Amino acid sequence: MSKDLTIESVRLALGMQQLRAEMAAQNIASANMPGARAMRLDFGASQALLTQAAGQGADLGPSLGQALADAAYAVPHAAIPDHEGASIQLDEQVADAASANLGYQALSEALSRRFGLMRLAIAGKN
């Protein structure tokens, strides 16, 4: 398991974007059910972990590195009601799904570039 801050952070963020898209899809699917309420995800634990890792920079300690790697495989989150008593707004959910998609694409591109740079470094080319 890698302890590289960038790779583990991006992996965690990819998982967060995927869960956002899944939650939006679940909200859209249940929109026509009587009494359905929008749910949202609370990524407070993941965000705190990323903030802590960013504060340490390149000196990612072994325990924090392992916690970040573990979190990337099982993104800590909690599903909570979006607004007290608020019904599901389809436009908001579609926008959230689209936003998660764009975030996922951007993170995938960043990770791809990172691996491309690693490949160049290993090959010894400038």
pLDDT digit string, tens, across residues 45-64: 888 887 877 776 655 566 77
Domain count, the chain: 1
What is the tens place of the pLDDT at every residue in 8-46?
A: 888 888 988 999 999 999 999 988 888 888 888 888 888
Instruction: Tell me the residue range of the domain where 69 lies.
Output: 5-123
Model-level pTM? 0.77
DSSP 3-state percent helix, strand, coil across the chain (nearest 5): 65, 10, 25
Nearest to 20 by CA among 40, 36, 46: 40
